[in-house]
Amino acid sequence: MFKSEALPPCIVLGLETQIALGVVRELGRAGVPVIGIAQSRHALGLRSRYLARRVIIEQPRSELMLEQIRALGEEFGEIPLLTISEVNLKWLLDNRQRLGKVKAILPQADALSVVLDKGKTLAIAESLGISVPRTSEPESVEAIEQLAGTLTFPVVLKWKDPNVIGPLLSAHGMSLLKAEYALDSGQLSVIGKRYQPLGKYPLIQEYCPGTGLGQFFFMHDGEALRRFQHIRIAEWPPEGGFSSVCESLPLTQHAELQEKSIALLRAIGWEGVAMVEYRLDPQTGKAVLMEINGRFWGSFPLAVQCGAGFALLAYQVNGLGRPAALGEVRTGLRCRMMATEIKRLIRILLAPQKISDPFFKPAPGRELKRFCSDFFRTGVGYYVWSRDDPAPFWADVTNMILRRT
């Protein structure tokens, strides 16, 4: 797509996940010299052959990291920087005046604050005619117990902003749960009392059946320069969470919903990449909004496999101010995250009682058949493994065996 000698480098901050690895591979394959900054020497992205330079700073979001970023700007000039996690996005926003010549590709702070707040996101979506789950935001155990008499069970409990509540939960020795189910008022009361020492409580949402439908966009000046979508074939945990297997869909499907998603991002004032996630009920065809991820998302390797070019767009359009150069996006391709695939299969085959969704019906034979047949199916890729860049896979396996992070 580009001649490498004409391209300035791009910094990728945070190489610890398959998401960052996908960003590095997409940029590197297009001839972009990628400078990777890792926060751990065990980061799987450090092993990618598509890195032009490797930097390790084991003090994330520190003065030392700011110094390193400024030094790279002095060496290479006004080069773009991409990052993955919300915590790094927020840190860069707070320090955007301290990056020297480096141009961090970031959303507007007010837009990010809306996206990180599920309550605000759902309110705007509902005003635009998008289906959202009925949601309550209790402030006490007493409020939860009063709500119980008005709810239809089961209900799902989710934190309004996981990035804010995470440190508080950790300080109280509690784990951050992406979603938790209450099957009746008794279970709901128990969950509420668990969080009483925090003085903070998760949102309570109506249960929405179905599977995950992700719609992905690159927004620029209020327009969607790129669209992409996938359906989740399998999720971890099995009752719903994030993709362990997903498959790209033609843009002719769910076209009306795409327009609603774009209208939502436009109303928020979003710029750059975003995932709009729905729960799609295959029985009724109804799609209910779950959340927006205002960053490169967990299943990003599928978008890379399909040639969607989201990282390249961020580099070109936001980083260099150049017009987009878009190719065809392939559909019908499938991508797998093997670590979670194996955990999921073990859960379904050996411990189905741990599946908290009362409406999830395990089908062990079908799941085992699909798991095995995907190894022989054409058009199946992997979140980490890549034939042209195998070293990150072996690093990931080593990290899992040695339980390194």
Q: Which uninterrupted H or E stretch holds 287? A: strand 287-293
pLDDT at 4 over 60: no
pTM: 0.93
pLDDT at 64 over 70: yes
Peptide bond into 154 cis (omega under 30): yes
Compute the average pLDDT of residues 360-386: 95
Which stretch of 11-15, 18-22, 323-327 has the lowest confidence by average pLDDT? 323-327
pLDDT at 239 over 90: no
> What pLDDT does residue 405 have?
63
Q: Which domains does the chain have, with CATH numbers?
A: 4-107 (3.40.50.20), 134-206 (3.30.1490), 211-400 (3.30.470.20)
77 burial (CB, 10 Å; 0-12 / 13-18 / 19+) is exposed
- Residue-wise pLDDT for 34-45, tens only, equals 999 999 999 999
CA 12, 13, 14, 17 torsion-angle sign: negative
Measured CA distances, 176 to 163, 183, 316 (Å): 10, 20, 36
- Residue-wise pLDDT for 117-129, tens only, equals 999 999 999 999 9
Angle between helical axes of 338-350 and 364-373 (0-180°, round to 10): 160
- Residue-wise pLDDT for 155-203, tens only, equals 999 999 888 899 999 999 999 988 899 999 999 999 999 999 999 999 9
